Structures are given as C-alpha cells and as structure tokens.
Structure 1
Amino acid sequence: MSIFRFPLLVWMGIGTLIISLGIRQSFGIFMMPISMHFDTGREFFSLAIAVQNLLFGAFQPFVGMAADRWGAQKVIWTGAIAYGLGLYLTSIAVEPNWLYVSLGALVGLGLSATSYVIVLGAVARVVPAEHTAKAFGLTTAAGSFGMFAVIPGAQYLLSEFDWQLALQVFAMLCAIMMAFSCFMKVNAGPASSASPDGRELTLRQALRDAFRHRGYWLIHMGFFVCGFHVMFIATHLPSYLADKGLPGTTAAMALAYVGIFNIFGSYFWGVMGDKFSKRYVMCALYLVRTVVIAGFVVLPVTTETAALFGGAIGFCWLGTVPLTSGLVRQIFGARYMSTLYGLVFFTHQVGSFLGAWFGGRIYDYYGSYEPIWWTTVALAFLAALIHLPVNDEPIYQPKTA
C-alpha cells in the first residue's frame, strides 16, 4: 500500500501528532522567560516539566482504555481541551505554583490523550495488518517533524511578543486538533476479536492474557531501555559535550541531527517491520544502537563525531515506536491496542525518568559520565537479546459474523 493511499484518519492522526508533540518539544525555549518572569530559577520550571512527563506516562493506560471503549475521537477531543486549557492557564498564571496544575497536570493529560498511543490505536483499526508498521512509522515521524514545524514559530513569537502570547497561540492550535479528531471516528466492529473459545474478547480477558504472555513483558523491558536511552541522551548530551570543551552550538547541532534523521529512521524501521519479522528488526535496531553509542564513547569527542553521533542515533531514535506498537498489535490485535500499548508506553516513561535521573546521579558520584554511557551500551545489547525469544504469533482471531 502506497502512503498516499492511507485512509484520511491516518493523515488526521499525523496532523494531531505534529501539533501535540511539536508544542511539547518547544517547552525548553520557554524555560528562561518563564523563570525570569516568576523569579524562581530554572529548577521550578524543570520540576513542572518533570511532573508533566511523569503524568504523561501515568495517564496513558487509562486514556488508552477510554479510547478502546469510546473511540479515539472523543479521547482526542477531550485531550485537546485539557491541553489548550493547561496552556492558557499557564499564560495567565499569577503564582508560579499554578504551573504544577496547568503546565504539569493538565498538559500531561492532554499529551496522553493526543499522542502516539491514541493515534496509533486508531490507525491500527483502519490499516491492514501487513501495512501496520509502515503506517506506524509514518505517524511516528510526524512527532519529529513537529519539532521543526512548531519551534521556529514559537521562537518568533517569543522574540516579537512575549511568552504569554506564544502560549495563547499554542492554546488556539489545540482547536485544530479538535477539528482533526472529527475525522477520526472508527467503528469498533472491524477491530473486534474473538478469544480461542469463540467468545467476544473483553478488556479484562485481554489484560489477563497479556499479563500471562511472556513476550508482552519482554516488550515492556525493551521499551524501558528505549526510554532510558532517549531521555539520558536528550538531557545529558549537552553537558557531556560541554565537559569535553565543545561549544553549546555543537550540542544544538547534534540534537537537531537527532530530530532530522529520526524522521527518516522512523519510517525506515517501520517499512522494515512490514517486510521482515518485527522482533528481528527490533533486535537489529538495538544492535545498531549498541555500536553507535559504543563508538561515540570510544572515539575522540569532536564537533564532527558529535554531529555523526546525532545523525546515527537519530536514525534509530524512535524507530522502536512503530516496531513495539506493531508487535503489540500483531500479537494481541487492534481491539484493545490502545490499552495494552498504553501500559507499555508507561514503562517507557519510567525508563525515561530513570535515564534522566541516573545520568545526573552517577555523574555527581563519579564526576564523569563514562559509567552511565557504558551502562547504555550494555542495556542496548541486552535489549537486542530480549526481543529474540518474543513469540509474535497472534493469540486471537478476528471475530467473524
């Protein structure tokens, strides 16, 4: 299936992700103006963003269950309202503590209801199983494209006006996500599944079967490693390069390359997941990560090697998303994918939290990032091995009339 023949729902989902994740990825440039406005220092804003990310993951299984029961359309609509309300309340906040509720809780809820888990769950219902990973790869790439579509606009608004107006414009963009959701209505029938005894599959049975499936827990473990990698590198790469005497522009360039190459990498790994066994493709992806990270640690750290690392790690940055979600869909079907993948995504966020925290903790203890870098190498190799024994055979059959 050509990407141009994907259903309208897929393109509306891509548009939703561009806005939702594009806004999220721009929050870093608001740190200085908001911290200066409230005279709180950077730690307060950082903590609000940390709360947002933790709740982003914690809400995910619950909004996934809601999407499986009532449909992605209603969940995205509700999430866009929470997202927009959180941004607007942040823009009019008179006390810094408001940010825990607005930028933290409300935006965290909005992100959970308008990002990968919900959109991919809806896409899984309208795209044939043999093209799922390709469609997932294309929608995953939209998240990185959002970085380049939204951040320049945010920077312009900050330079020409102020941070309050910029957040209010973002709040209005959430109305576009609400409009996109109108075209994301999916009938539950085609995605219904039957248990081995022929009865209609219930959420309770799907959860029980998933928790008893060894492969499901192996998928959790692999995605935990992905979250650990992504947040450690995103959080600590600039400091690591600064420790090596490189200017801040080098870190910005490396992270920009991560975003650019992730656009192509997400689609590439998704296509590979359609052509070959997803678990073997996942194994190959983590082996590539192993070599890339190890090479970066061993080679001299220069502007050139930092740029090369950014492009190489970016190519396999979020390629795990279409493969992981594709495995969940392949094994357990599309009926309760948002719930089951939502639980896996929460594990990813736990890994993200620990990657960011342990990076700083180990640096403070050893005075060096070397131990944590080699830990990421070992985890990447372990993740490659973890996916080999995953039994990816479907455990349900589509329900027939």
Structure 2
Amino acid sequence: MTSSPGRLPMRQMLLCGALIVTLSMGIRHAFGLWLQPITMAHGWTREDYSLALALQNLVWGASGPFIGWWADRSGAFRVLVPGALLYALGLAGMALFDQHLPFLLATGVTIGLGQACTTYAVIYGVIGRNIDASQRSWAMGITAAAGSFGQFLMVPLASTLLHRLDWSSALLALAASALLIAPFAWGLREPSRQSPPRHAHPTDTPAQSAAQALREAFSHRDYLLLTAGYFVCGFQVAFIGVHLPSYLADQKLSPEVATTALALIGLFNVIGTYAAGALGQRLRKTRILSTIYLSRAVVMTLFILTPISPLSVGIFAAVMGALWLSTVPPTNAVVAQMHGVQHLTMLGAIVFFSHQIGSFMGVWLAGRLYDLSGSYNVVWWIAIALGVVASMLNLPIRENRQPASRLVTA
C-alpha cells in the first residue's frame, strides 16, 4: 500500500481519515439513546426532539456544498479543525440548554455545521485527490467501514455513560471526545488547494471553475438520478437510527436490546461498507446501489411483519447493518467517475444534501406521525416504498457517462 510522490502517504491518510470518521459518525449514531431522557427531563414531545435532529441533518446537508468548496480550495485540515470545535460546542449546548429554541440552535445548527466539516464528504475529497481511480472505491469503503466501527464502538460507550452519569454529563463527555478530531486532522494536511490539483483525475478539466462544475453536474441526467436516490438512503437510516430505540421501548423490550441493536448495525456495517467498496472495483456500482435499496425494503418488510423479540431485533440489526452505509462508497465513487476529482468534495456534498433532506424528513416525520397516531407503522411503510423507488432510480444510471464538455473519457 504505497503512495505516489507528492501525495499524502496512503496509510497515514486512511488511518487519520478513519479515526476522524469513527468519532464524527460514532457520536451522531448514539443520539437516538437521548430521545427519551431529554424529552422526559424537559417535558417535550418526541416531535420536539426529532425536529432538532431533523434540523441538524438539514443544516449538515445544506452547508455541505459550501464547506466542500472550501475544502477543495483550501484543504481538509482547515475545515476539520473548526469543525471539531463546532461539534464540541454543539454537544455542550445540547447538554446544558433547557429551553427549546437554544437547544434547537445548538443541536440542529451548531452540530449540523460541525458534522458537515468532519464527515464523509471532506474525507472523501482527500481520498479522491490522493488515490488512483483503480483503488478509490476500495479506499472509500475502508473509510466508510471506519464510520461503521465508530457506531459499534461509540453506541455502547454512550450507553455506558448514560448509565454511569446523568444524561447531560454524558453529552459533555462526548463533547470532549469530539475535540480529538482536531489532532487527527493534522495527518490530512495537503498542499495548498488554491490551484487545480497536481494529481487530478484524467477527466478533470484543469481550468474548470466551481460554477462550471455545478452547471455541468446539474445538466447531467445520471447525476440527478443518483442524487434523487440518495434521498431515500437518508430517510431510512435517519428514521431507524433515531427512532429504533423508542420503537423497541414501545414494544416493551429493554433498553439493552436497543443498545445491542444499534451496536450490531455498526458492527455489520463494517462488513457491508468494506464489501461494497471492494465490489465497486469489479462490478457496476449503480447495480450495487439498486440491490442495496431493494434489499433494505425486503428486510424492513420482514421485520415489521414478524413477531418482535430480542432475536428478531438482532437479526434485523445485523442484516440492516450490512446494508446501512454500504451506499456511501459506490455513490461517491460514481460521482468521481462522472465528474473527476477537482471538485469532488463539493459535488459529493450536493448529492449528500439530498441524503440529508431525506434524513430531515425521516427523523421529523417519524416524530410527527408518532405524536399524531401513537405508532411508527406508517413511517415503516413509507421507508419500504421509498426503498423500491430508489432501487428503480439507480438501474438506468450510466456511471461512466461523461458530459459533453469532457475532453477525455474515463
């Protein structure tokens, strides 16, 4: 595993990127454990808490293209360090504010901005610029697997903190851990991004501006289909990640079952994301995506139609975990194939914005419909139907198709 002269060392880049994603994604995957403690402590409804996390996902997605442009231009390091500070400040506010508006701003806006600066889009931009296309999907799979391991590691840790400390002190402990992102970011320092990358993908047009890249992407049918399909991924994983613990509590299962389920999702996601990245080197990536979305629909259908028990929850979590973030490596690799890596962070962040709109809807709508009906059943069926739609959207995508302005084909 070597790197070319002038590029970041591959081992260093993958290790530091993996550690950053482990922390940033691991912390956010545990937020569902705080739904009941916080709503009970403040006398809020589930929709109140869900709105904060839904706003977090929306801010994360909406700010992503701008932060992506910044990272493409200035380098990931200058984005990751302030992102770590924002993440920690938001977690502290989540712990300390007892009025809904300040809580909404800290949890929704501040953490959302911190996540936009410290998660996949920024890290994948570094990988895309420093790793050859022949290894890119595999490397992205490694990083996505690290985020999955973060869930496996951080969810039990967060549960332990909740049992040993009060819920606000547990959040302050997570805030301290978020600050560790800053020193790990040192290993991702790149040469100045003020000029086009020296090791750009062959399909990059050296003089292409960010505005030209945006116009090109939005005129590209397959890019838009990929973006639309990613909405569904966000809806499904955000709904399950935030509301599964409460859904299981409603079914009279112990909190330990929910903690185990979230940890199993993280553990099996390590396998699923790595496998998706590795398979993306050999198989058509959009077929992989179509299969993942359809498989999710089948798994969710079987789960809600089967009598619930700790065993059925464990099986659901393991299988869903293998499908959880396995969409991430092939999606970002397809963006790089379509449009090169010069503006990969920005263009990948736009696709991810669609994901986060879906996340907003999945988190908020679940809380809203639960408060109206006392059940999550309608949301499960919406998530299932959307999985079928996303599977169909990905089938016609031609991942190697280049816009007319490209001078060299992939």
TM-score interval, normalised by the smaller of the two chains:
0.7 to 0.9
Structure 1 SS opposite 2:280: helix
**What pairs up with 1:2-401 in 2 under 5 angstroms?**
6-31=10-35, 44-90=48-94, 93=97, 97-163=101-167, 165-187=169-191, 188=193, 189-192=197-200, 200-238=207-245, 240-241=247-248, 249-359=256-366, 370-393=377-400, 395=402, 396=406
Residue 353 of structure 1, CA deviation: 2.0
Residue 329 of structure 1, CA deviation: 1.1
Residue 139 of structure 1, CA deviation: 0.9
* C-alpha distance after superposition, 1:361-387 (max 9, x if no partner): 556777765554344333222222211
In structure 1, the residue matched to 2:6 is: none
* C-alpha distance after superposition, 1:89-146 (max 9, x if no partner): 5555576643233333222111110011111111111121121111111111222222
- Measured in 1, the distance between the counterparts of 2:381 and 2:30 equals 30
Structure 2 SS opposite 1:182: helix
- Measured in 2, the distance between the counterparts of 1:313 and 1:25 equals 14
- Measured in 1, the distance between the counterparts of 2:371 and 2:175 equals 38
Conservation of the 8 A alpha-carbon contact between 2:203 and 2:339: no
- Measured in 1, the distance between the counterparts of 2:296 and 2:261 equals 16
Alpha carbon RMSD of aligned pairs, Å?
Answer: 3.2
- Measured in 1, the distance between the counterparts of 2:76 and 2:312 equals 43
- Amino acid aligned to 1:190: R
- Amino acid aligned to 1:321: V
Conservation of the 8 A alpha-carbon contact between 1:283 and 1:387: yes
* C-alpha distance after superposition, 1:300-348 (max 9, x if no partner): 4444333222211111111001111111111111111111111111111
Alignment size in residue pairs? 397
Conservation of the 8 A alpha-carbon contact between 1:125 and 1:186: no
- Measured in 2, the distance between the counterparts of 1:32 and 1:236 equals 10
- Measured in 2, the distance between the counterparts of 1:373 and 1:94 equals 31
Instruction: Give the gaps of 5 or more residues in structure 1.
Output: none
Structure 1 SS opposite 2:341: coil
Structure 2 SS opposite 1:275: coil
- Measured in 2, the distance between the counterparts of 1:159 and 1:247 equals 14
Structure 1 SS opposite 2:351: helix
Distance 1:153 1:53, change over 3 A: same
- Measured in 1, the distance between the counterparts of 2:251 and 2:333 equals 39
Conservation of the 8 A alpha-carbon contact between 2:68 and 2:349: yes
- Measured in 1, the distance between the counterparts of 2:136 and 2:324 equals 19
Percentage of pairs with the same residue: 38
- Measured in 2, the distance between the counterparts of 1:140 and 1:387 equals 20
Deviates more, 1:174-183 or 1:238-247: 238-247
Conservation of the 8 A alpha-carbon contact between 2:129 and 2:201: no
Distance 1:46 1:109, change over 3 A: same
Structure 1 SS opposite 2:85: helix
Distance 1:63 1:295, change over 3 A: same
Structure 2 SS opposite 1:132: helix
- Measured in 2, the distance between the counterparts of 1:38 and 1:371 equals 27
Residue 293 of structure 1, CA deviation: 2.6
Distance 1:277 1:173, change over 3 A: same
Distance 1:140 1:369, change over 3 A: same
- Measured in 1, the distance between the counterparts of 2:89 and 2:365 equals 33
Distance 1:157 1:287, change over 3 A: closer
Conservation of the 8 A alpha-carbon contact between 2:151 and 2:266: yes
- Measured in 2, the distance between the counterparts of 1:292 and 1:83 equals 33
Conservation of the 8 A alpha-carbon contact between 2:152 and 2:265: no
Conservation of the 8 A alpha-carbon contact between 1:158 and 1:166: yes
- Measured in 1, the distance between the counterparts of 2:376 and 2:165 equals 39
Conservation of the 8 A alpha-carbon contact between 2:66 and 2:346: yes
- Measured in 2, the distance between the counterparts of 1:267 and 1:356 equals 27
- Amino acid aligned to 1:48: A
- Measured in 2, the distance between the counterparts of 1:264 and 1:217 equals 28
* C-alpha distance after superposition, 1:197-243 (max 9, x if no partner): x6611111111110000001110111011112212333444555566
Distance 1:32 1:301, change over 3 A: closer
- Amino acid aligned to 1:182: W
Residue 267 of structure 1, CA deviation: 0.7
